[in-house]
Amino acid sequence: MEEGQEVHRRARTLFPQGISGQDRTTAAAAKKTTQLMADPSVTTIFEATFHVDGYSARADVIQRVAGAWHLVEIKSDVEDKPELVDDLAYTAMVAVRCGIRIAKASLLLLSKEFRLGMGSDKLFVMIDHTSDMEQKVRNFLLLWDDVSSKTKQPNRPSPNLMLACRSCPFFEADCLGRGINDHIFDLPRLSQKKFDELAAEGVVTIHEIPAGSELTDTQERVRRSVISGQPSIAGSLAGELAAIVMPAYYLDFETVMTALPLYPAIAPYTQIPTQYSVHVCSNVGKVTGHREFLADPARDCRRELAQQLITDLGTKGSVISYSSFEKTTIRALAAHFPDLKNPLAVIVDRIVDLEAILRRGYYHPGFHGRTSIKVTLPVMVPNMSYEGLEIGDGDTAVAMFARMAKGQVEKRETERIRKALLAYCKQDTLAMVKLHEQLTAAIA
C-alpha cells in the first residue's frame, strides 16, 4: 500500500497543473469535481469523483482535451492486463453516465526500463486504451440497471454457487462456504466440467458425492480421507521419501520485490533473494546444524548470498525445499552470475520438493485441499506454530526488509528486526524438518 501511494505521488508530478477533487465524503467529492470541471481555468483534476444512480468511481487523473476529458488511471503494474482496462472502463462508464465526455482513456503503468536514480518522467509509460474502453463500457452498460436495482435492495440477493466462489474472499467467512467443513472446493484441481456436473446434481459437500462418480486418483484419495476422517497415504509416498539422501539440507529463501527498485541496475518487480535459512539433518528429524544468511539491506547482496549458499549446502545429500520457489530462485542467481552457474546447477539437481511429495502422497482432512506449509504444519505438527514470532508471515518479512532498505527504520530498531527476520526464516526450515519427520512416521 505504501508503495502504491509512492507511485501515485510520483505520477502526480507528471501533471503539475493538477488540482485535487478529494473531499470528506463521496457526495462532497463529486460536487467538488463538478465545480472544478465547470471552471475553464482547471485543466487537470486528481481523484475526480463521479456518483450516479448508486454507482461511484474515482478517476486518478482527468485532463481537459478539446471540449472533453482524457481519463488516466495510475497503476503500480508493469504488465498491461485486461483487469486494469476493466477498472479504467468502469470509471469511464460512471463518468459517462454523469454526462462527462471521455475522449481518451489511458493507463499509466510503470516502465520496465526504469532504474534507481532516474526521474519520474522515466518511471511511467502511458498506454492508450480508448477503443478497448469504449467497447467495454458498451458491455458494462448492459448490466447497469440489473446491478443498480440489486445493490439498492435492503437485503443482498441469493447467492448461486459457481466455480469462481472458490477464490472469493467472502466464501468461507460470509457466504456459501460458511459452516461447511467438506466443501467440494476441497477437491484438488476441480475442473469446470466436474464442478458443473456435481452442481447440477445439487452436490455441495464431499460427503454428498455419489458413489461411482468419476474423480481423478488424487480427488478420490481426498474423498476417501474426508469420508473416513483419517489421513490417506498413496503408494508413492514411501518410495519418494526413501529417495531423499542424507545428510539433508532444508532450505528456505526470503526475497524482496518492489515496484520502485531498491538497488541500482534492477528493474521494477525484480525478485531479489535477501535471506535464507538451512537446517542440516544427519537423519530424519535429527538436526545437526543450522546456517543462515541475511543481506545488508543497504545494498544488493545477491553475490555474497549465492557464494555463502554454495558453501553452506556442501556437496552431498538432498536439498529439501517446500515449493518450487527455491529452485527458481537458484536458477535466477545462476543466470545472473555466470561464474557461479556450475555449483548452483549442482544444488538445483539435489533439490527435492517436499510439498510436491506431500501433494502426491499424503492427505489429511484438515488440509481442506491446500498444502501450503502454513496449512499443513498446524495439522501435522500441532505443537509448532508461527504464533509468538514478531514476524510470522512472508508478507511482513518482505515489508520489513524493504523498509530497512529504504532507510525507513531507525537504527536502534534494525537489530531487533534483523533478529525477527532470522527467527521467521529459521522457523520455516524447522517446520520442514518436522513435516518430513511426520510423513516418515506416517508410513512406518
The nearest distance, CB 156 to ligand SF4, in angstroms, is 8
163 near ligand SF4, judged by CB under 6 A: no
The nearest distance, CB 90 to ligand SF4, in angstroms, is 18
Question: How far is residue 22's CA from residue 376's CA, in Å, rounded to a whole number?
Answer: 46
Total of residues contacting ligand SF4 (CB under 6 A) = 8
Amino acid identity of residue 130, one-letter, is: T
The nearest distance, CB 143 to ligand SF4, in angstroms, is 15
Helix/strand/coil percent split, the chain, to 5? 45, 20, 35
Pick one of 175, 260, 332, 351: the residue that binds ligand SF4 (CB under 6 A).
175
CB 434 within 8 A of CB 384: yes
Pick one of 42, 163, 168, 203: the residue that binds ligand SF4 (CB under 6 A).
168
Q: What are the angstrom distances between the C-alpha of 26 and each of 19, 49, 55, 118?
A: 17, 7, 11, 36
Pick one of 171, 249, 253, 363: the residue that binds ligand SF4 (CB under 6 A).
171
Question: How far is residue 293's CA from residue 296's CA, in Å, rounded to a whole number?
Answer: 10
The nearest distance, CB 172 to ligand SF4, in angstroms, is 9
319 near ligand SF4, judged by CB under 6 A: no
The nearest distance, CB 199 to ligand SF4, in angstroms, is 12
Backbone CA torsion sign across 240, 288, 277, 335: negative
The nearest distance, CB 163 to ligand SF4, in angstroms, is 10
Read off the C-alpha cell for 311.
Answer: 558453501
Q: Where are the alpha helices (DSSP H) in 143-274?
A: 144-152, 171-174, 192-200, 217-228, 236-242
Pick one of 65, 118, 128, 159: the residue that binds ligand SF4 (CB under 6 A).
159
164 near ligand SF4, judged by CB under 6 A: yes
In 3D, which of 371, 54, 431, 416 has the Cα closest to residue 186?
Answer: 371
Q: Which is nearer to ligand SF4, 173 or 211 (by Cβ)?
A: 173
Say how far residue 112 (Cα) sits from the centre of its chain. Answer: 20
The nearest distance, CB 175 to ligand SF4, in angstroms, is 3
Q: How many helices (H) and strands (E) does the chain have?
A: 16, 13
195 near ligand SF4, judged by CB under 6 A: no
Pick one of 62, 100, 165, 187: the residue that binds ligand SF4 (CB under 6 A).
165
The nearest distance, CB 150 to ligand SF4, in angstroms, is 12
Strand partners, 124: 110
Q: Which is nearer to ligand SF4, 171 or 293 (by Cβ)?
A: 171
CB 26 within 8 A of CB 52: no
Pick one of 80, 170, 324, 416: the residue that binds ligand SF4 (CB under 6 A).
170
Question: How far is residue 68's CA from residue 87's CA, in Å, rounded to a whole number?
Answer: 20
103 near ligand SF4, judged by CB under 6 A: no
Instruction: Read off the DSSP letter of residue 299.
Output: S
Q: Which is nearer to ligand SF4, 102 or 176 (by Cβ)?
A: 176
Residues between 248 and 267 with contacts to ligand SF4, criterion CB under 6 A = none
The nearest distance, CB 325 to ligand SF4, in angstroms, is 29
The nearest distance, CB 139 to ligand SF4, in angstroms, is 20
Which of these segments, 23-31, 169-177, 271-279, 387-395, binds ligand SF4 (CB under 6 A)? Answer: 169-177
The nearest distance, CB 177 to ligand SF4, in angstroms, is 7
Q: Which is nearer to ligand SF4, 159 or 289 (by Cβ)?
A: 159
Which of these segments, 67-75, 159-167, 265-273, 349-357, binds ligand SF4 (CB under 6 A)? Answer: 159-167
Question: How far is residue 263's CA from residue 298's CA, in Å, rounded to a whole number?
Answer: 8
190 near ligand SF4, judged by CB under 6 A: no
Question: How far is residue 247's CA from residue 287's CA, in Å, rounded to a whole number?
Answer: 10
199 near ligand SF4, judged by CB under 6 A: no
Which of these segments, 2-10, 105-113, 167-175, 199-207, binds ligand SF4 (CB under 6 A)? Answer: 167-175
Q: Is 153 exposed, middle or buried (0-12, 13-18, 19+ CB in 10 A)?
A: exposed
Exposure b/e, 74-110, CB count within 10 A at least 16 = b? bbbbbeeeeebbebbbbbbbbbbbbebebebbbbbbb
Q: Strand 232-233 to strand 362-363: parallel, antiparallel, or no bridges (unpaired)?
A: antiparallel
Residues between 35 and 54 with contacts to ligand SF4, criterion CB under 6 A = none
173 near ligand SF4, judged by CB under 6 A: no
Binding site for ligand SF4 (CB under 6 A): 159, 164-165, 168, 170-171, 175-176
